[in-house]
């Protein structure tokens, strides 16, 4: 099948999702960061620095959520920021943003598979049953969740909503079990430190502070599958960022009050270790279940989001067109889902977790930097009142400016520890851009680049 082949019958995605599914998609992909990963920010700057980094990251992602709510509710198309870039900026930017998104999500899926294998290995050691090879566990997890996505978006995202909700309430349950109204377990006075590495430690902590929220922008990938985009996308995204802010602060409060910061900064599963301090076996079992549910929720959302971006890019011929097929029965982008499975497995099996996390965060930051500029262009080209918007984010352009500044802080934070990786990732996307310009752009459907029935952009 060639890139010029056009199917005789068009089968579209189903509009079956509601605000709860959008909430689950945005929160589910992120919540695993509360269970593991965020705590490495403690090692970079201490417990208080981790909290400040969490708040900085919270402000960054609040800007992302409000900006994306406006643009996504106006351009309610599969592909999220990729499709937005295609309409607001142009093909080259769209191709880059599409790659940022695919690698952010597929690397997150690989990190989730590794985290699941590691968590089960730790548990097996506790019960004195060693897991010899974790690779089959990673492969089985990715394949199983890909199969769930293959079978239908309503089923997979309803499942995702349920397990995300349960994983969130496990954190609340641990907070209650630790009895914050008494001093029986919590000991913040003794365990909470200042800034052992100064304010530079806060900036260094920012890198892992992003792990509390990375991926929430993926809620806009449901643009063509929600029943009411103007209502579901803003409601689901904004409620999602509020949920994550609550979960992040609860997680920090629990872990810092129960574990010394020197240990917390190196723990592979901080909430699970915190639950061990409560001295309750039911709570320990509940935290284990919550950790596994959070990993499944994140991986499910990652596969959903990555496949939608791949599908949207293929539909526009930015990638090979055969990936844009929609299953006639399940109405899912089944070829895009299948094609991404071996990529996720390869990263999970062969790439170090540290590199996977770094490249995923870098790809996400590049996308957020684009979003800061895109909303300014969007408002200039189509001022408020010229097109129908489901949501108008307030105080423009202040959130865009704050977002760009905090993205700069995020890049500097990564540069402090992973300067070579920063150059490597930037170089990779530059080479991909050159390849697209000279080799792939000739296949792009140029006449279909602007599919909205909007007035001519202001200034054109």
- Would you state the pLDDT for residue 46? 92
Can you give the chain as a three-state secondary structure string?
CCCCCCCCCCCCCCCCECHHHHHHHHHHCCCHHHHCCCCHHHHHHCHHHHHHHHHHHHHHHHHHHHHHHHHHHHCCCCCCHHHHHHHHCCHHHHHHHHHHHHHHHHHHHHHHHHHHHHHHHHHHHHCCCCCCCCHHHHHHHHHHHHHHHHHCHHHHHHHHHHHHHHHHHHHHHHHHHCCCCCCCCCCHHHHCCCCCCHHHHHHHHHHHHHHHCCCHHHHHHHCCCECCHHHHHHHHHHHHHHHHHHHHHHHHHHHHHHCCHHHHCCCCCHHHHHHHHCCCHHHHHHHHHHHHHHHHHHHHHHHHHHHHHHHHHHHCCCCCHHHHCCCCCCCCCHHHHHHHHHHHHHHHHHCCHHHHHHHHHHHHHHHHHHHHHHHHHHHHHCCCCCCCCCCCCCCCCHHHHHHHHHHHHHHHHHHHHHHHHHHHHHHHHHHHHHHHHHHHHHHCCHHHCCCCCCCCCCCC
Band of residue 129 on the pLDDT scale cut at 50, 70, 90? low
Mean local confidence (pLDDT), 209-216: 93
What is the phi-psi region of residue 79: left when phi exceeds 0, alpha when psi lies from -120 to 50, beta otherwise? Answer: left
Domains in the chain (CATH in brackets) are 19-441 (1.20.1740.10)
In tens, the pLDDT along 261-313 reads 999 998 888 999 999 999 888 999 999 999 999 999 999 999 999 999 999 99
In tens, the pLDDT along 365-378 reads 999 999 999 999 99
Band of residue 164 on the pLDDT scale cut at 50, 70, 90? very high
In tens, the pLDDT along 83-126 reads 999 999 999 999 999 999 999 999 999 999 999 988 887 777 66
In tens, the pLDDT along 24-36 reads 999 999 999 999 9
Of 52-56, 334-338, 375-379, 456-460, minimum mean pLDDT range: 456-460
- If we measure between CA atoms, which residue out of 293, 289, 253, 295 comes closest to residue 274? 253
- Would you state the pLDDT for residue 258? 93
């Amino acid at each position: 099948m060639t890139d010029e082949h056009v199917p005789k019958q068009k089968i579209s995605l189903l509009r079956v999702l509601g605000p709860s599914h959008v909430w689950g998609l945005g929160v589910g992909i992120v919540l695993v960061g509360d269970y593991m990963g965020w705590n490495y920010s403690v090692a970079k700057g201490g417990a208080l620095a981790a909290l400040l980094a969490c708040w900085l990251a919270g402000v960054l992602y609040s800007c992302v959520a409000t900006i994306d709510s406006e643009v996504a509710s106006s351009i309610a198309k599969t592909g999220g920021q990729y499709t937005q870039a295609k309409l607001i900026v142009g093909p080259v930017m769209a191709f880059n943003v599409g790659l940022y998104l695919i690698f952010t999500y597929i690397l997150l899926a690989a990190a989730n598979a590794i985290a699941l294998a590691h968590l089960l290995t730790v548990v097996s050691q506790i019960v004195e049953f060693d897991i010899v090879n974790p690779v089959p566990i990673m492969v089985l997890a990715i394949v199983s969740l890909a199969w769930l996505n293959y079978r239908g978006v309503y089923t997979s995202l309803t499942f995702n909503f349920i397990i995300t909700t349960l994983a969130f309430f496990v954190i609340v349950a641990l907070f209650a079990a630790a009895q914050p109204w008494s001093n029986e377990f919590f000991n913040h006075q003794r365990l909470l430190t200042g800034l052992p590495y100064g304010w530079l430690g806060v900036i260094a902590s920012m890198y892992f502070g992003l792990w509390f929220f990375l991926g929430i922008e993926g809620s806009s990938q449901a643009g063509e599958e929600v029943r009411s985009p103007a209502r579901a996308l803003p409601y689901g995204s904004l409620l999602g960022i509020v949920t994550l802010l609550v979960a992040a602060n609860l997680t920090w409060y629990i872990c810092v009050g129960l574990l010394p910061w020197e240990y917390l900064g190196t723990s592979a599963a901080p909430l699970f270790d915190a639950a061990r301090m409560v001295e309750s076996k039911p709570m320990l079992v509940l935290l284990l279940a919550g950790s596994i549910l959070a990993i499944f929720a994140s991986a499910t959302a990652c596969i959903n989001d990555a496949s939608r971006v791949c599908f949207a890019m293929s539909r526009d011929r930015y990638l090979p067109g055969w990936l844009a097929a929609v299953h006639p029965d399940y109405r899912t982008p089944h070829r895009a889902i299948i094609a991404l499975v071996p990529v996720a497995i390869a990263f999970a099996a062969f790439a170090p977790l540290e590199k996977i996390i770094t490249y995923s965060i870098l790809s996400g930051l590049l996308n957020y930097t684009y979003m800061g500029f895109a909303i300014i262009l969007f408002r200039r080209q189509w001022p408020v009142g010229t097109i129908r918007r489901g949501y108008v984010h307030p105080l423009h352009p202040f959130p865009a400016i704050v977002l760009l500044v905090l993205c700069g802080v995020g890049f500097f934070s990564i540069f402090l520890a992973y300067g070579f990786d920063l150059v490597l990732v930037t170089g990779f996307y530059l080479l991909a851009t050159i390849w697209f310009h000279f080799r792939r752009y000739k296949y792009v459907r140029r006449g279909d680049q602007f599919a909205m029935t909007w007035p001519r952009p202001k200034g054109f």
